[in-house]
Copies of this chain bind each other. A is one copy, B any other.
Amino acid sequence: MQSANTTSLYVPQTLPVARAIALRHEVEAFNAEYCAMLDTGSVERWPEFFVEDCIYRITARENAELNMPVGLVYAQGRAMLHDRAIAISRTQMFAPRYNLHIVSNTRVTSESPNGEFAAQANFMLLQTLIEGPTTIHMAGSYFDRFVREGQQLLLKERQVIYDTTIIANDLVYPV
């Protein structure tokens, strides 16, 4: 929680402004595609947004700030994402609902000579249950590492750091 020593997540943006903006536009386009895929229930396409040798993790901010990377969800390699996606698309483990992502505050913080770069964005995952209001199911930040394969931007690593401490048990679905 907010205290004198919770700044471990703050990474200043160190790129030249014009370069950071150009990369940000690509990340925004990527995230809009990624979220549209998830929000329309096309989870079987989820692994296509990652490189083969990838990491996907969902962690509470409290743990992340303490550098305890133990996460609620951890997957390594596209094959593991694929298994997960197939399992989810074949199972209806939760009450029907609509998901809607709102992503903002995208920042590209650094770029390596090999073209890999680090980005960050804030997100809200809104949920609407049948005959219910729309609520904030989860809010937090993406901490990403992107690489290129050909023209295509892909995730090498996505760390989902969530603020919301009470999480319903349906977190099997990717964020």
Once bound together, how far apart are the Cα atoms of A9 and B39, in whole Å? 9
Q: Please tell me if the beta carbons of A1 and B130 are within 8 angstroms of each other in the complex.
A: yes
A77 in the interface, Cβ–Cβ < 8 Å?
no
Q: Please tell me if the beta carbons of B96 and A2 are within 8 angstroms of each other in the complex.
A: yes
Known: A17-B151, A135-B136, A166-B132. A89 touches B4 (CB 8 A): yes
Q: Please tell me if the beta carbons of A37 and B21 are within 8 angstroms of each other in the complex.
A: no
Q: Please tell me if the beta carbons of A21 and B17 are within 8 angstroms of each other in the complex.
A: no
Within the complex, which residue of B40, B102, B120, B122 is in contact with A105, where a contact is CB–CB below 8 Å?
B102
Which of A24-32, A50-58, A67-75, A79-87 is near enough to bind chain B? Answer: A24-32
Q: Which residues of B contact A141 (CB under 8 A)?
A: 100
- Sort chain A's interface into a size bin: 35 or more
Once bound together, how far apart are the Cα atoms of A6 and B100, in whole Å? 14
Q: Please tell me if the beta carbons of A29 and B17 are within 8 angstroms of each other in the complex.
A: yes
Once bound together, how far apart are the Cα atoms of A28 and B13, in whole Å? 13
Chain A to chain B: the 6 pairs with minimum beta-carbon distance, closest first = A1-B96, A10-B40, A98-B163, A128-B163, A134-B139, A134-B164
